[in-house]
Chains A and B, each alone.
Chain A
């Protein structure tokens, strides 16, 4: 009886910890990403671009995958972050980390100030509201050409060496390493936030807002909070884009950005943080392969694939990743166990 009483709590804490532990696949992915920096030097530019898309999609995963907020307006935060970082670089300093912070704060501010628009209405309303907000920001940037350079894009953006040491070169060496580092930090932060009571309350809202409010969760303030965090992530993605390209244009605020983000996340799957990474990788690879095969029609194939992915189910990728990691974890645990047994036997 005594042992039963003490083992039950351990089981509970263990189960909660297991759910948030680093998976084998996850670690493998990071090893491969770092290895790519050493072994694929001629691909650094495209890899940096993939990471940028991954962060944009990650920002969307935070709000869609974890809090159930559908959005077609992530470009508003991405673009404002991009312009904020660009202006900061042109007028204050080209130091990249502070520029990233400025971009993140700008994205967060946009999300925080427009988040209340999401609180009324269902998915369709949210899609239209986010779409509308992004369109408004796009037009503001277009009209305010004294500030943004309008259709010509913002001139005079320069990125100083990272930590004062690493120049941003034209081959994307620094850009890829920098982007990957930023993605890593953002994933670590997201993991911490999502494993917290706050993070779980978001999933409760996503799964059942009625019950969430009935267990005392203040639904609307929580939604605004995560929308703001998602905005910060999108702003950071935008800033990163500006810094690595050393240029900002209206493209950063375009509907295409929002659509790309959502498309990538859909391909990679929502709700396990790596949907953006997987989706961006697949998206870019497909784009690369298809645009070599049929330069004019690759969008057609992307569209077809997207339809297929959605029909197979948004849950599929996450389920697949979970199944494979469980299998791998067992494999490793099994090996470790047999090694222990072998060590104990002289």
Chain B
């Protein structure tokens, strides 16, 4: 059976520096898969290759068995490959409702419609209301994104991705920078994400990785170093070496 998302011998050079080295990776349907690795291991480069921000020097990326290697970013999104960002990327001048509405409208293929008011599309209000409830954003629904407290911004960052009804969701350090008080809420919203969505979690925080993921891949110096279940990785002495000997703080 083909994996939902797969890379074959993916390479990326930045001049003489090899940021991604022969990565062959599989993400199964409904997966809760974590990608870990020390700083500078090439995690973000890998995400940028998957989403089309960067193009690979060589190798292939397949979604549902079909090559998407040279495809534009928005075309990948329309096929269900969606990401969130390590640093919030919101629409600062729009309200929470407006942001969600435009994303939902885009997903429904109405983004080119210049005539119908955005609130008129059938069922869009119910869908947005569900998203607001699902991410605890009801109380700030009418507020401008740039005015939200950080914890709410972080939730909106993820809600915008979920509004696209992704099949594959790439979460880039979703709990990064979230104050301790809001952390639990973010974690429980993550745990409640739809189970049919395959999730690849890029994370530094080992507690989050161990509670969230059932499979872990370790990236070191641009290459896949180890892969296995949470137990296997937790007890892999080589991984411990990389983390303890590799200068990983904490």
Question: Is A196 part of the binding interface, using a Cβ–Cβ cutoff of 8 Å?
Answer: yes
CB contact between A193 and one of B95, B98, B114, B124 (< 8 Å): that residue: B114
What is the distance, in angstroms, from B112's C-beta to the closest C-beta of chain A? 6
Contact B107 A216 (CB under 8 A): yes
Complex contacts, B117 vs chain A, CB 8 Å? 16-17, 20, 192, 195-196
Tell me which residues across on chain B come within 8 A of A20, comparing CB atoms. Answer: 117
List of B residues within 8 angstroms of A155 by Cβ: none
Check if B113 sits within 8 Å of A215, measured CB to CB. Answer: no
Min Cβ gap B8→A in Å is: 24
| Structural contact, B119 and A210, CB atoms closer than 8 A | no
Query: Do A211 and B85 have beta carbons less than 8 Å apart?
Result: yes
The secondary-structure label for the interface of chain A is: helix
Residues of A contacting B82 with CB < 8 Å? 214-215
Known: A12-B141, A17-B117. A201 touches B111 (CB 8 A): yes
Does chain A have a CB within 8 A of B216?
no
- Tell whether, in the assembled complex, residue B118 and residue A211 are in contact, meaning their CB atoms are under 8 Å apart: no
Say whether, besides A195-B117, A203-B94, A211-B91, A12 and B111 are in contact (CB < 8 Å). Answer: no
Q: Given the interface contacts A207-B91, A215-B164, does A9 sit within 8 Å of B129 by beta carbon?
A: yes
Whether B90 contacts A211 by the Cβ 8 Å rule is yes
Contacts of B186 in A (CB 8 A): none
Query: What chain B residues lie within 8 Å of A101 (beta carbons)?
Result: none
Q: Decide: A12 and B129 in contact? CB cutoff 8 A.
A: yes
| Residues from chain A with Cβ under 8 Å of B106 in the complex | 197, 201, 215-217
For the complex, give the distance between the alpha carbons of A17 and B97 in Å.
11
B134 CB, nearest partner CB in chain A, Å = 12
Residues in A190-235 with C-beta less than 8 Å from chain B:
192-193, 195-201, 203-204, 206-208, 210-219, 222, 225
Q: Residues 263-307 of chain A: 1 if any B CB is under 8 Å from the residue's CB, otherwise 0?
A: 000000001000000000000000000000000000000000000
Interface size in chain A (residues, C-beta < 8 A) = 38
Interface centre among B51, B101, B163 (most CB of A within 10 A): B101
Q: Does B78 contact A (CB under 8 A)?
A: yes
- Tell me the bound Cα distance from A211 to B89 in angstroms: 6
A198 touches B74 (CB 8 A): no
Chain B CB within 8 A of A8 CB: yes
B74/A197 in contact, CB under 8 A: no
- Could you tell me the distance between the alpha carbons of A31 and B162 in the complex, rounded to whole angstroms? 45
Rounded to whole Å, the gap between the CB of B193 and the closest CB of chain A is: 17
A111 nearest CB across to chain B (Å): 16
Q: Which of A1-58 contact B (CB under 8 A)?
A: 8-13, 15-17, 19-20
**Bound-state Cα–Cα, A196 to B161, Å:** 21
Knowing A8-B132, A15-B142, A217-B106 are in contact, say whether A196-B94 is a contact too (CB < 8 A).
no
Please give me the residue from chain B that is nearest to A5 by CB atom: B129
Give chain B residues whose Cβ lies under 8 Å from the Cβ of A196.
113-118
B69 in the interface (beta carbon within 8 A): no
Contact residues, B89-137 vs A (CB, 8 A): 89-95, 97-99, 101-103, 105-107, 110-119, 121, 124-126, 128-129, 132-133
Known A16-B119, A197-B105; 6 more pairs at CB < 8 Å = A9-B129, A19-B95, A196-B118, A200-B102, A204-B94, A206-B93
The residues of B with any CB-CB pair to A shorter than 8 Å are: 51, 72-74, 77-78, 82-83, 85, 89-95, 97-99, 101-103, 105-107, 110-119, 121, 124-126, 128-129, 132-133, 138, 141-142, 160-161, 163-164
Closest 9 CB pairs of A and B: A16-B119, A197-B105, A216-B77, A200-B102, A211-B89, A9-B125, A8-B129, A13-B125, A12-B125
Some 12 contacts from A to B, beta carbons below 8 A apart, are A11-B129, A12-B141, A15-B95, A16-B118, A20-B117, A197-B116, A198-B114, A200-B118, A201-B111, A215-B77, A216-B107, A217-B106
